[in-house]
């Protein structure tokens, strides 16, 4: 998609430049073209679901009432173990997109995640606020360093990467190809870190649909009560929670 926009923009710019040279058009026409290009790229970069720079798995096309739960930013020393216990009591699989730095700090929890039958994905090493401004080389290092930490602890090398803040750009596209990682986004964002538990639940019960990948954070203390209520609601409404890999039918780890 990004390629098509680039080519179209270049063609339009060339036409305007040529037209201006022969006095058919004004160079001022370049202003709306450049502005439109900047806006399209900004929106494409901030919405992972648009698959603008590279494809991401954001949901499954299915009529079965199946969804997958994902938890970003952990493992957290207190919240993640509690969450695993809760998920266990409902016999519910989940995927934890861990940062390398938190995996290093909490290796036992990383092991528990795997031993309890959940999946682990890669969510960068440091989760820098400026991750999207990193060079492709630095992004590759973040991805590979995190994979190395997880492999050392669990013996499994993740293939699934969730971009920090869901931001996508050409540098990350290159980094994912070089590291042989697959991007996973989401179709339903709970906003659990910014909204009250009540508002989060209202959104979840309104918007949950078949094939959803739902985004939560296991660094947020409210996530326990939210998940408790959500699991109860899902069960009552005949939704089945499946693992991300069975929802998407892709492997979670390298062979
Ligand atoms: Zn994150």
CB under 5 Å of ion ligand 1: residues: 72-73, 164
Kindly report, as residue ranges, where domains of CATH 3.20.20.370 are found in the chain: 66-248
Q: Check residue 24 and give its pLDDT.
A: 86
Catalytic site residues?
Answer: 72, 217
Q: Check residue 1 and give its pLDDT.
A: 78
Tens digit of each residue's pLDDT, the chain (255 residues): 788 999 999 999 999 999 999 988 899 999 999 999 999 999 988 899 999 999 999 999 999 999 999 999 999 999 999 999 999 999 999 999 999 999 999 999 999 999 999 999 999 999 999 999 999 999 999 999 999 999 999 999 999 999 999 989 999 999 999 999 999 999 999 999 999 999 999 999 999 999 999 999 999 999 999 999 999 999 999 999 999 999 999 999 998
Neighbours of 153 (CB within 10 A): 20
Neighbouring residues of 50: CB distance < 8 A, sequence distance ≥ 6? 1, 43, 44
**Residue 28 C-alpha to ligand 1 middle, in angstroms?**
41
Q: Where are the beta strands (DSSP E) in 99-232?
A: 119-122, 160-161, 182-183, 188-189, 213-217
**Residue 90 C-alpha to ligand 1 middle, in angstroms?**
25
Neighbouring residues of 183: CB distance < 8 A, sequence distance ≥ 6? 48, 54, 55, 56, 57, 161, 162, 163, 168, 172, 176
Question: Does the domain at residues 66-248 carry the CATH identifier 1.10.150.120?
Answer: no
Q: Copy the structure tokens of residue 48.
A: 């992972």
**Residue 233 C-alpha to ligand 1 middle, in angstroms?**
25
**Residue 218 C-alpha to ligand 1 middle, in angstroms?**
10
Q: Check residue 84 and give its pLDDT.
A: 98
CA angle 124, 220, 134 (to 5 degrees): 25
Q: Which residue has the tokens 């309890």?
A: 116
């Amino acid at each position: 998609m990004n390629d098509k926009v680039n080519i179209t923009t270049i063609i339009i710019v060339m036409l305007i430049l040529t037209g201006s040279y022969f006095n058919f058009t004004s160079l001022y026409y370049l202003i709306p073209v450049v502005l439109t290009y900047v806006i399209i790229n900004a929106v494409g970069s901030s919405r992972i679901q648009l698959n603008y720079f590279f494809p991401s798995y954001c949901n499954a096309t299915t009529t079965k009432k199946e969804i997958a739960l994902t938890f970003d930013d952990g493992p957290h020393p207190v919240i993640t173990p509690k969450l695993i216990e809760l998920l266990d009591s409902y016999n519910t699989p989940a995927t934890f997109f861990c940062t390398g730095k938190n995996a290093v700090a909490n290796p036992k929890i990383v092991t528990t995640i795997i031993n309890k039958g959940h999946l682990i994905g890669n969510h960068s090493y440091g989760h820098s606020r400026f991750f999207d401004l990193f060079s492709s080389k630095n992004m590759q290092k973040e991805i590979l360093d995190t994979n190395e930490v997880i492999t050392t602890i669990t013996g499994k090398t993740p293939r699934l990467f969730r971009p920090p803040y869901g931001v996508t750009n050409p540098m990350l596209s290159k980094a994912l190809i070089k590291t042989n990682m697959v991007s996973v986004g989401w179709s339903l964002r709970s906003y659990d870190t910014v909204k009250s538990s009540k508002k989060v639940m209202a959104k979840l019960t309104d918007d949950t649909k078949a094939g959803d990948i739902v985004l939560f954070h296991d660094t947020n203390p409210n996530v326990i009560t939210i998940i408790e209520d959500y699991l109860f609601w899902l069960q009552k409404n005949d939704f089945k929670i499946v693992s991300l890999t069975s929802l998407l039918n892709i492997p979670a780890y390298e062979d």
